């Protein structure tokens, strides 16, 4: 890895060019000079993949990079989570970090490179930031950990860990996914990542000392008003303790009481302090809630809802909610309620556009609702947790939808639990059930307490949100975010993982009482897929001209027919009833017909249906497909066009049948061979002799 600064974007507060192989990322940093009394850090991180970096031209009409892909948003969130905790609240001011992928070699990872380049850009800028941090990706392939693996190595690994660390081996951010890996593998990879991050931190610090700018001072621009802080504490501390210690209040009641108290306290301080001092009220009141909540946990050992530190919220599970659904589950944990539904479709559905959206134009219209980066991140985390247990050879495309009906903390981990049960309810043979839990952290005066299954207020006012998803086999996904300046010690990180695995074991036991394993057979309303064998001789009749026969069957029975190879066709139906209807239609196409009554070498009567440049189309029976009789088989003489011989549409001629070509499956007929000898034996299909059939051949009729 190579980090460069001083040549590009010199008007920005900071710019670093990161190189790893031929993968190049440029990161620029710009921040406002004067800090403001924000209750959060207004940090904006944007990551963009340039099409030119991949040697491609955008495929949209304007041939420009329009919009942001899901992968870009997830990478931007990864960078944001790595940088945010190193901003102190005294220096909160607007800051923008832009990461552009300039070149990609298809081997080296741009995500980790972007985090390190962003860390170096902030370190070298004049933005007050308490970094640097260093990111490392570690994979485990069974033989041992691989630090910063290539793309090919990562695809073969069982465990994928991205860890961002600060000095003294403190953990800042973790994003991981695994194939049910045990805890010893997780700890081994974590130690490797922390060791590897030390070299990157040293390189960034060296770059900062060489070309870094003087940091802007922020301590003199914003100072909390001590008198205002005391006034807020004296007026609100006692009633706030009463609210937070009332274990019978739910989330809505607590929020309402705190909002009322905030309003009353705000009116009180406005009568005493100036407008400039009152501007700091929101931060002071928020700090008071945070401190009061922590003191209560440390002094009583109980949380706001009365639980012990390692206790779970009440859990209730249900499956098979509505019969028409392929799979469904409802997971309730405290006041967090998630409903997951599973829908099956054909394998092609994963790559097929939504026809209704395309025809209606909605795919081209801008949504009135902005894209929620948080929802996208939670969905990606739940997918990481569940994907390893889903069999790769499953014959259908699976869509797992999650609806958060109530939210009071850890909705993403509730989605993992509900999604696992919904998959089992639908009959997907998952390897093992998966559950998820969020572990929190509160610190006070150098001491700490871990909180199992955190609620919303503990997430907001706590110091850590560590989401852990695991099965009985091991870890499937992890995501850690911390608010502690400079990250958390590795000892707390290891302690939190152990607490999460223990909690997930309890959750899996509760889930097993509702549904312990996947259904042995799919639901009656579930989709069906069957294979059809079609011989080359019947292929033309099966497909029809331009595939019209199959298109008709698909339209009438709501099935999807896909050709697997020369003789096999896959039929996907949304339910058993549609499959039976489609099978009846297909059997009609494949049933034995009049062609089977033809004998090799027999002479038949054929009716001309069309004149072509290369021959004539003839039918041997009304229910048989037209057959091409080429010019070379029309006459002993060389023929350029059938009209030269006086042939007309509707005319009946004698032809000799030579079976079907074993390679192409086309029927072989000849009129030319009959001109060499006088026909003595004629073969006519029985239906041609039927009374009233306009295509019947008179035995006394001679050929022109």
What are the extents of the domains in the chain? 2-150+180-211, 226-300, 315-351+373-514, 528-591, 595-689
The predicted structure's pLDDT at residue 373:
85
* pLDDT at residue 678 greater than cutoff 60: no
Q: Is 558 helix (H, G, I), strand (E, B) or coil?
A: coil
Mean pLDDT of 487-505: 96
CB 665 within 8 A of CB 536: yes
pLDDT digits (tens, 9 = 90+) for 350-378: 776 554 444 444 444 444 345 588 899 99
The predicted structure's pLDDT at residue 695:
34
Distance CA 321, CA 422 (A): 10
Report the sign of the C-alpha dihedral through residues 304, 309, 311, 313, in that order.
Answer: positive
Give the other-Cβ count within 10 Å of 242's Cβ. Answer: 11
Both tokens assigned to 312:
């779970």
Beta-bridged to residue 112, according to DSSP, are none
Beta-bridged to residue 482, according to DSSP, are 464
Higher pLDDT, 408 or 41: 408
Q: Is 579 helix (H, G, I), strand (E, B) or coil?
A: helix
Ramachandran area for residue 142 (φ above 0: left; ψ -120 to 50: alpha; else beta): left
The predicted structure's pLDDT at residue 643:
85
Distance CA 635, CA 654 (A): 12
Three-point CA angle 568, 574, 575, nearest 5°: 100
Higher pLDDT, 525 or 491: 491
* pLDDT at residue 235 greater than cutoff 50: yes
Burial 380-416 (b: 16+ CB within 10 A, else e): bbbbbbbbbbeeeeeebbbebebebeeebbbbbbbbb
The predicted structure's pLDDT at residue 406:
94
Radius of gyration from C-alpha coordinates of the chain: 36
Lowest mean pLDDT among 230-244, 424-438, 485-499, 548-562: 548-562
The predicted structure's pLDDT at residue 358:
43
Lowest mean pLDDT among 12-21, 187-196, 404-413, 547-556: 547-556
Most confident of 270-274, 406-410, 492-496: 492-496
pLDDT band at 277 (very low <50, low <70, confident <90, very high): confident
Mean pLDDT of 635-652: 87
Most confident of 177-191, 621-635, 673-687: 177-191
Mean pLDDT of 508-518: 96
The predicted structure's pLDDT at residue 680:
45
* Rounded-to-10 torsion of CA 403, 406, 410, 415: -20
Q: Which H or E run contains 347?
A: none
| CATH number for the domain formed by residue range(s) 226-300 | 1.10.10
Q: Length of the chain in residues, anyone?
A: 704
| Domain at 595-689, CATH homologous superfamily | Nucleic acid-binding proteins (2.40.50.140)
Both tokens assigned to 408:
């009071």
Distance CA 439, CA 200 (A): 29
Composition of the chain by helix, strand, coil, percent to 5 = 40, 25, 35
Mean pLDDT of 314-329: 94
Higher pLDDT, 222 or 598: 598
CB 445 within 8 A of CB 512: no
Mean pLDDT of 241-258: 94
Domain spanning 2-150+180-211: CATH 3.40.50.12280? no
Give the other-Cβ count within 10 Å of 241's Cβ. Answer: 14
Distance CA 261, CA 256 (A): 9
pLDDT digits (tens, 9 = 90+) for 591-643: 766 666 777 888 888 999 999 988 999 988 776 778 898 888 888 888 888 88
The predicted structure's pLDDT at residue 502:
97
pLDDT digits (tens, 9 = 90+) for 112-157: 999 999 999 999 999 989 989 999 999 998 788 999 998 889 988 9
* pLDDT at residue 286 greater than cutoff 70: yes
pLDDT digits (tens, 9 = 90+) for 50-89: 888 888 888 777 788 777 888 999 999 999 999 999 988 7
* Rounded-to-10 torsion of CA 529, 530, 531, 533: -140
Mean pLDDT of 97-126: 94
CATH code matching the domain that covers 528-591, chosen among 1.10.10.10, 3.60.15.10, 3.30.1370.10, 3.10.20.740: 3.30.1370.10
* pLDDT at residue 288 greater than cutoff 90: yes
* pLDDT at residue 570 greater than cutoff 50: yes
The predicted structure's pLDDT at residue 336:
96
Angle between helix 251-270 and 226-245 (nearest 10): 150
pTM of the model: 0.81
pLDDT digits (tens, 9 = 90+) for 27-50: 999 998 876 666 678 899 999 988
Distance CA 641, CA 632 (A): 10
The predicted structure's pLDDT at residue 681:
46
Mean pLDDT of 259-288: 90
CB 131 within 8 A of CB 94: no
| Percentage of residues of the chain with pLDDT beyond 70 | 90
CB 11 within 8 A of CB 21: no
Distance CA 118, CA 131 (A): 11
Angle between helix 183-211 and 110-124 (nearest 10): 40
Distance CA 260, CA 238 (A): 14
* pLDDT at residue 448 greater than cutoff 90: yes
Distance CA 310, CA 139 (A): 31
* pLDDT at residue 476 greater than cutoff 90: yes
Three-point CA angle 445, 446, 452, nearest 5°: 100
The predicted structure's pLDDT at residue 664:
80
Question: Is-same-fold flag (2-150+180-211; 315-351+373-514)?
Answer: yes
Q: Which of 317, 293, 308, 340 is nearest to 453 (CA)?
A: 308
Distance CA 373, CA 376 (A): 5
The predicted structure's pLDDT at residue 676:
67
Both tokens assigned to 343:
């829908």
| CATH number for the domain formed by residue range(s) 315-351+373-514 | 3.30.230.70
Distance CA 137, CA 478 (A): 14
Distance CA 6, CA 14 (A): 9
């Amino acid at each position: 890895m190579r980090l460069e600064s001083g040549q590009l974007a010199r008007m920005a507060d900071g710019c670093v060019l990161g190189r790893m192989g031929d993968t190049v990322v440029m990161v620029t940093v710009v921040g406002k000079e004067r800090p403001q009394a924000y209750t959060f850090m207004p940090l904006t991180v944007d990551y963009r993949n340039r099409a030119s970096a991949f040697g491609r031209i955008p495929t949209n009409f304007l041939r420009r990079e329009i919009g942001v892909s899901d992968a870009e948003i997830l990478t931007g969130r990864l960078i944001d989570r790595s940088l945010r905790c190193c901003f102190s609240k005294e220096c909160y001011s607007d800051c923008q970090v832009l990461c552009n992928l300039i070149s990609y070699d298809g081997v080296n990872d741009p995500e980790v490179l972007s985090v390190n380049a962003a860390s170096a850009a902030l370190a070298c800028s004049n933005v007050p930031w308490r970094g640097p941090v260093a990111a490392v990706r570690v994979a485990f392939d069974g033989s041992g950990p691989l630090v910063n693996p290539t793309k090919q190595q990562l695809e073969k690994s069982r465990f994928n860990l991205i860890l961002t660390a600060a000095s003294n081996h403190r953990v800042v951010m973790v994003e991981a996914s695994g194939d049910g890996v045990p805890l010893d593998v997780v700890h081994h990879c974590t130690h490797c990542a922390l060791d590897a991050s030390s070299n990157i931190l040293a390189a960034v610090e060296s770059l900062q000392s060489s070309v870094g700018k003087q940091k802007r001072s922020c301590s003199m621009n914003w100072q909390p008003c001590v008198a205002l802080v005391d006034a807020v504490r004296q007026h609100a501390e006692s009633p706030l303790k009463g609210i937070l210690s009332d274990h019978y209040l739910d989330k809505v009641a607590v929020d309402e009481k705190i909002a009322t108290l905030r309003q009353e306290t705000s009116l009180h301080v406005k009568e005493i302090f100036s407008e400039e001092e009152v501007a700091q009220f929101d931060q002071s009141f928020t700090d008071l809630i945070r401190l009061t909540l922590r003191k209560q946990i440390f002094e009583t050992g109980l949380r706001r809802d009365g639980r012990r530190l390692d206790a779970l919220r009440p859990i209730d599970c249900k499956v098979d909610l509505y019969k028409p659904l392929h799979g469904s589950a409802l997971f309730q944990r405290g006041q967090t309620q998630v409903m997951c539904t599973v829908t099956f479709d054909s394998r092609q559905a994963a790559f097929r556009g939504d026809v209704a959206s395309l025809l209606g134009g909605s795919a081209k219209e801008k949504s009135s609702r902005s894209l929620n980066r948080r929802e996208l991140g939670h969905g990606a985390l739940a997918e990481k947790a569940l994907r390893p247990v889903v069999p790769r050879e499953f014959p259908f495309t699976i869509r797992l939808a999650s609806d958060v009906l109530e939210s009071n903390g850890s909705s993403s981990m509730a989605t993992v639990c509900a999604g696992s049960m919904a998959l089992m309810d639908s009959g997907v043979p998952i390897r093992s059930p998966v559950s998820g839990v969020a572990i929190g952290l509160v610190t006070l005066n150098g001491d700490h307490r871990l909180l199992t299954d955190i609620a919303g207020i503990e997430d907001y006012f706590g110091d850590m949100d560590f989401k852990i998803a695991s099965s009985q086999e091991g870890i499937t996904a992890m995501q850690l975010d911390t608010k502690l300046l400079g990250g958390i010690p590795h000892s707390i990180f290891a302690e939190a993982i152990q607490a999460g695995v223990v909690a997930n074991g309890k959750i899996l036991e509760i889930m097993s009482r509702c549904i312990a394993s996947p259904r042995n057979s799919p639901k009656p309303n579930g989709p069906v897929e069957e294979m059809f064998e079609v011989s080359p001789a019947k292929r033309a009749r099966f497909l029809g001209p331009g595939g019209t026969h199959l298109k008709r069957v698909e339209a009438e029975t709501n099935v999807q027919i896909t050709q697997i190879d020369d003789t096999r066709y896959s039929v996907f139906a949304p339910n058993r009833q549609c499959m039976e209807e489609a099978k009846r239609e297909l059997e009609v196409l494949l049933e034995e017909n009049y062609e089977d009554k033809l004998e090799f070498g027999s002479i038949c009567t054929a009716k001309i249906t069309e004149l072509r440049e290369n021959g004539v189309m003839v039918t041997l029976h009304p229910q048989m497909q037209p057959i091409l009789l080429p010019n070379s088989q029309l006459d002993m003489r060389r023929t350029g066009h059938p009209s030269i011989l006086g042939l007309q549409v509707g005319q009946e001629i004698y032809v000799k049948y030579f079976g079907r070509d074993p390679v192409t499956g086309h029927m072989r007929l000849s009129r030319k061979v009959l001109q060499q000898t006088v026909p003595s034996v004629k073969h006519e299909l029985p239906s041609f002799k039927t009374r009233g059939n306009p295509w019947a051949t008179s035995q006394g009729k001679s050929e022109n």
